Amino acid sequence: ASSYLFILTVLHVLHVIVTLIFLLIIVINSFSNKYNENNYLPVLTTSVFWHFLGILWIYLLLFLVFIH
């Protein structure tokens, strides 16, 4: 059981770090006015990634709660 907790913790930290890097890049580029109505794909993909991770962690939480 402790190995599952370790794996989940490492994956969570990895996802948080990757997401923060993506968000930092988006913020820096948005302050540099690199995005407009024709160039917003990086913002869209980062948003999809962010929401996918949210749904994934809700699923994992429910899975771990109901596995017992």
The residue count for the chain? 68
Q: For residues 33 and 36, what is the distance between their CA atoms, to the nearest angstrom?
A: 7
User: Within 10 Å of residue 40's Cβ, how many Cβ atoms?
Assistant: 13
Segment 9-34, tens digit of pLDDT: 898 899 889 889 989 999 999 999 99
Per-residue pLDDT of 21-68, as tens digits, reads: 989 999 999 999 999 889 999 999 988 988 988 898 899 889 888 987
Rounded CA-CA distance 41/45 in Å is 6
